[in-house]
Amino acid sequence: MDFKVQISKLPKNWIVLVSTSAKDYMGVNAKILKYLLSKNASGIYVTINKPASSVRSYLVKNKVPVSRMYFVDCVSRLMNADTEKAEGVIFVHPQNLTGIALAINEMISAIKGEKFLFFDSLSTLLIYNNVGSVEKFSHFITNKIRLLNLRGVILTLEDDMDPKFATLLNKVCDKVIRAR
């Protein structure tokens, strides 16, 4: 997958839906993040599958420059992990969609310059919330990305989404990319 080629014909600020297998998903994350960070942008990574500490460790190991990465961690509180103040991380429960939105807003306001929002994986919110709530949240977030002229990546696992939810995401994204 050459992410740069896939998005080359999109407007400056775009939203893409990236679908990948569970086997490839962390490698795909690293490739996309390397590309986005190479554009001198800062990133907000909303992690709903793994604790931010695990994601950060994987990215560092794979030479992704994490100094301009900020995390909304929706996993650690579920695991009763230490969620004391960590630099560049806000901890939110995945059932608290309003809290996730507020954390994203806080980070967007604090970061200067070009920014992107990376969701890993929005479909996982369906485990903790009903489809209607996640659809409204997704619509809110994608509109926020557009209004603030950000770039957005929504990562999903193949065969991991409710068909109605998949249709909504296909409608609000500029491009759907199948990645390996």
24-51 pLDDT tens trace: 888 999 999 999 998 889 999 999 989 9
* Dihedral sign of CA atoms 13, 98, 49, 58 in order: positive
Q: Which domain holds residue 29?
A: 3-179
The pTM of the full predicted model, rounded to 2 decimals, is: 0.92
Between these two residues, 75 and 178, which has the higher pLDDT value?
75
Over residues 142-165, the pLDDT tens digits come to 999 999 999 999 998 877 767 777
CATH of the domain at 32: 3.40.50.300
For range 75-95, the mean pLDDT:
83
The yes-or-no verdict on residue 82 having pLDDT over 80 is no
Q: What is the mean pLDDT of the chain?
A: 88
Q: Domain total for the chain?
A: 1
